[in-house]
């Protein structure tokens, strides 16, 4: 919820498209994590062996680098 508010606020304030893309990536990742967790908590799926988890490689460093860029931009804009 907070990420969606931040995304809307960024679009309205004319911030960099890169920041918006980073927030959208975070929202998408959170939605996938919640969906997976919900499936895992449905014991019926586990007991009937219908639970299937996707196995994929996640490139974490590009996401971390985007977050670092956001912090750096904030520091520069606030003259910290």
The pLDDT tens digits of the residues spanning 17-38 come to 777 777 788 888 888 888 888 8
DSSP type of residue 14: T
d(CA 73, CA 69): 6
Are 26 and 3 spatial neighbours (Cβ–Cβ below 8 Å)? yes
For 78, the 3-state DSSP assignment is helix
Total Cβ atoms within 10 A of residue 18:
11
For the whole model, what pTM was predicted?
0.39
Which pLDDT score, from 0 to 100, does residue 13 have?
Answer: 57
Conformation bin of residue 13: beta by default, left when phi > 0, alpha when psi is -120 to 50: alpha
Is the pLDDT at 78 greater than 60? The verdict is yes
């Amino acid at each position: 919820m907070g990420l969606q508010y931040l995304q809307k606020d960024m679009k309205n304030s004319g911030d960099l498209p890169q920041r918006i893309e980073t927030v959208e990536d975070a929202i998408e990742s959170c939605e996938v994590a919640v969906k997976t967790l919900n499936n895992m908590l449905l014991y019926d799926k586990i007991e009937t062996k219908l639970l299937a988890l996707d196995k994929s490689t996640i490139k974490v460093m590009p996401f971390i680098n985007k977050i670092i860029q956001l912090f750096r931009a904030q520091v520069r804009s606030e003259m910290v």
